[in-house]
């Protein structure tokens, strides 16, 4: 029995590309899901997956609105496929919450949809915490299922073996590739002190995706948010010597070609987040913190 239902008549698609970004693992600071949602919301839902079958509502609880003492609305986590046409290209966005269960069954479902919709390429978007500073350009790691898929100077990496806990996103990509659809992935590296909604990385992912697809996916509101966030981080750094020193260490680490030569201990994400949170609490008042500064 399929884990999805078709929400509306499938439009005629020409060489569609499927872009996947899920809110959960491999989505540091919500940067990847934030980028994908910005573009996906311009289109309509064409496929909806069965939330009761794939989500554990105790770990990802629906949100309840209580208005004037009355239970008014429940917002359930969802996993959907949206269609949007931009620059003459048909784009399909797999967006929503990372499912808790039935990954392998979902992967088979998605493979069937990819075949039915004639998807020509899969693109994964993700974000990972890394020893980088907000004062530097957002590094983006690229992956590809085979040589020749990356263009415009993009390099597949990292080299060697990297063993990490898997995400549902990766399980779906691997199933699609095994079924014959080529795939690439772009993963932004996010400062360890960035909180929920690091728009700077979201903008960087959209820029890389725009280059890859050769269409314009820029979003003015997201770019404005990223500038506001950076100004807030800069203020936190300039007004606190401890925080400034920590960020400088991350900058130095990024400039080192051989990381093992760095003798100073790099501060943890918790330490960095604590310092910035402390500064923001001290500055609270007429100028509230910019959203996205939550620690972790």
pLDDT in tens, 47-87: 999 999 999 999 999 999 999 999 999 999 999 999 999 99
Q: Is residue 185 located within the same domain as residue 275?
A: no
Q: What DSSP character marks residue 203?
A: H
Q: Is residue 295 domain-resident?
A: no
113 in Cβ contact with 47 (< 8 Å): yes
Q: Domain boundary at 219, 244, 270, which?
A: 219
The Cα 136–Cα 151 span in angstroms is: 23
If asked whether residues 81 and 210 sit together in one domain, one would say: yes
Q: Say whether both 190 and 260 belong to one domain.
A: no
pLDDT at 102 over 50: yes
Work out how many domains the chain is built from and give that number.
Answer: 2
Residues 206 and 227 in one domain: no
Tens-digit pLDDT profile for residues 271-288: 555 555 555 555 454 443
In a domain, 289, yes or no: no
Average pLDDT value for residue range 36-53: 96
C-alpha closest to that of 107 among 33, 24, 3, 182: 3
Number of H helices, E strands in the chain: 8, 10
Of 219, 251, 268, the last residue of a domain is 219
What average pLDDT score do residues 92-96 get? 98
Residue 263 lies in domain: 223-283
Mean pLDDT of 191-209: 90
Asked if residue 294 belongs to a domain, the reply is no
Distance of CA 116 to the CA centre of its chain: 26
Give the model's pLDDT for residue 257.
36
Is residue 268 assigned to a domain?
yes
Global pTM reads: 0.84
Beta-bridge partners for 71: 66
54 within a domain of the structure (yes/no)? yes
Q: Residue 168: pLDDT above 70? A: yes
Residue 190 located in a structural domain: yes
What is the C-alpha to C-alpha distance for residues 240 and 246, in angstroms, rounded to an integer? 10
Does residue 196 lie within any of the structural domains? yes
- The predicted model gives 31-48 an average pLDDT of 96
For residues 254 and 272, give the distance between their C-alpha atoms in angstroms, rounded to a whole number.
16
């Amino acid at each position: 029995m399929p884990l999805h239902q078709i929400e509306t008549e499938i439009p005629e698609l020409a060489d569609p590309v499927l872009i996947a970004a899920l809110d959960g693992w491999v989505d540091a600071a919500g940067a990847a899901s934030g980028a994908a949602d910005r573009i996906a919301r311009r289109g309509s839902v064409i496929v909806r997956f069965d939330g009761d079958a794939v989500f554990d509502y105790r770990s990802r609880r629906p949100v309840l609105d209580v208005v004037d003492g009355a239970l008014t609305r429940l917002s359930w986590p969802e996993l959907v496929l949206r269609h949007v046409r931009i620059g003459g290209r048909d784009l399909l966005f797999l967006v929503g919450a990372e499912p808790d269960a039935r990954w392998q069954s979902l992967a088979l479902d998605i493979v069937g949809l990819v075949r039915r919709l004639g998807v020509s390429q899969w693109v994964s978007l993700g974000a990972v915490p890394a020893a980088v500073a907000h004062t530097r350009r957002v590094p983006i790691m690229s992956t590809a299922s085979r040589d020749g898929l990356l263009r415009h100077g993009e390099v597949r990496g990292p080299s060697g073996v990297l063993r990490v806990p898997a995400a549902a996103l990766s399980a779906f990509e691997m199933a699609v590739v095994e079924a014959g659809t080529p795939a690439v992935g772009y993963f932004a590296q996010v400062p360890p002190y960035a909180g929920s909604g690091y728009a700077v990385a979201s903008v960087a992912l959209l820029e890389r995706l725009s280059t890859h697809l050769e269409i314009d996916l820029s979003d003015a509101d997201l770019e404005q948010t990223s500038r506001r966030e950076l100004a807030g981080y800069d203020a936190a750094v300039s007004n606190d010597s401890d925080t400034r020193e920590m960020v400088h260490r991350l900058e130095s680490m990024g400039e080192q070609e051989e990381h093992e030569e760095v003798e100073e201990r790099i501060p943890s994400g918790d330490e960095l987040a604590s310092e910035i949170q402390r500064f923001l609490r001290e500055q609270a008042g007429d100028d509230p913190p910019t959203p996205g500064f939550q620690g972790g």
